[in-house]
Amino acid sequence: MHDTIAGSGAKPVDHPPLRAGRIGVLLVNLGTPDGTTYWPMRRYLKEFLSDRRVIEVPRLLWWPLLNLIILSTRPSKSGAKYASIWNREKDASPLLVITQAQTEKLAARLAARSDRLVVDFAMRYGNPAIAPRIDRLRAAGCDRILIVPLYPQYAAATTATVCDKAFDHLKTLRWQPAVRIAPQWHEDPVYIEAVAASVRRSLAALDFEPEVILASFHGVPKSYLLAGDPYYCFAVKTGRLLRAALGLDEARLRITFQSRFGKEEWLKPYTDETVAGLAKAGTRRLAIVAPGFVADCLETLEELGTENREIFQHHGGEKFAYLPCLNDGEEGMAVLAHVVERELMGWI
């Protein structure tokens, strides 16, 4: 352990205690409510939907809509969806359970590289929050911190808002750590091959062969793209590279976007409409994978795995499979270790 400032001699007897010389790695995912009942859901949704990066509607219009209407009705509806996937044993959302497992496994992998590394995780919305986790790393002697937003494809509403929150806290610190932000890895060959390998293994375990596979990415309003957000381009490139890695054509692997909210036009084609359209057109066997998520969560398990299954079967589809995210499996951990080790170059 390095508990003194590198290069310093003996400290005066009245010097305040200092710990330094260690390197922190902070994984940050989107977030999770603390529970599925009304008030935990309301707190979570209020924080999430109050973020100006997420909702760019003018505040004079958005504030009354959010506080008087959305937060009166949506917590109960969202809570019921979370309850359907909640990890009862650990009393936590799958996203929290998986992110914690990823953190622990990453720490074990990196231990052989350096005894100076400290690995932790945080959530942009909900708990554990970013600020106290940065403080915890600083208390452990980390004067350098690599922040890893867990989004393979950059978007202002995801990666950028993690940076905003982290730097808001850093502005309050007298002694700031040196900070790096891991960039997106949407086209990294290690990531593409990991997703392809995971898809191949999941397909091999099915009792049917899908006629079509959808690569479904979280959507954003189309206006964000027109304002210069690169997310759409990154997602489409990931989809193209995954298609090539799997040896499929555009008809067999299609790129779609899910989770739209409100009446504004979002990135197209929409996943739910594509699922319905395929079933109506005679597709009977369908699989969906979500390459933009590093861990399974509400949007994958409930929205893709349950809602879209019902849509497909309602319109005549027969066989449906949701293919899991990389999570804390071998391929997923290989990607996270690769990204972190790449961004720690020069520090270890």
In 3D space, the residue among 165, 186, 178 whose CA is nearest the CA of residue 137 turns out to be: 178
How far is it, in rounded angstroms, from Cα 112 to Cα 180?
22
In 3D space, the residue among 347, 203, 322, 346 whose CA is nearest the CA of residue 271 turns out to be: 322
> What residue type is assigned to position 316 of the chain?
G
> What residue type is assigned to position 336 of the chain?
L
Binding site, annotated residues = 218, 299
How far is it, in rounded angstroms, from Cα 139 to Cα 145?
12
- β-pairing, 253-258 with 212-218? parallel
> What residue type is assigned to position 266 of the chain?
W
Handedness of CA 332, 153, 187, 222 (dihedral sign): positive
Query: CA triplet 93, 218, 165: central angle to 5 degrees?
Result: 65
Residue pointed to by tokens 């593409």:
192
Binding site, annotated residues for Fe(2+) = 218, 299
How far is it, in rounded angstroms, from Cα 161 to Cα 180?
15
Handedness of CA 83, 85, 90, 95 (dihedral sign): negative
Distances (CA, A) of 12 to 6, 17, 20, 85, 141: 16, 11, 17, 56, 19
Q: Which residues pair with 221 in a beta bridge?
A: 266
How far is it, in rounded angstroms, from Cα 193 to Cα 41?
36
Tokens linked to 223: 């206006």
Cβ-based neighbour number of residue 230 at 10 Å = 16
In 3D space, the residue among 114, 1, 141, 9 whose CA is nearest the CA of residue 346 turns out to be: 114
In 3D space, the residue among 168, 248, 262 whose CA is nearest the CA of residue 215 turns out to be: 248
Alpha helices in 258-305 (DSSP H): 271-280
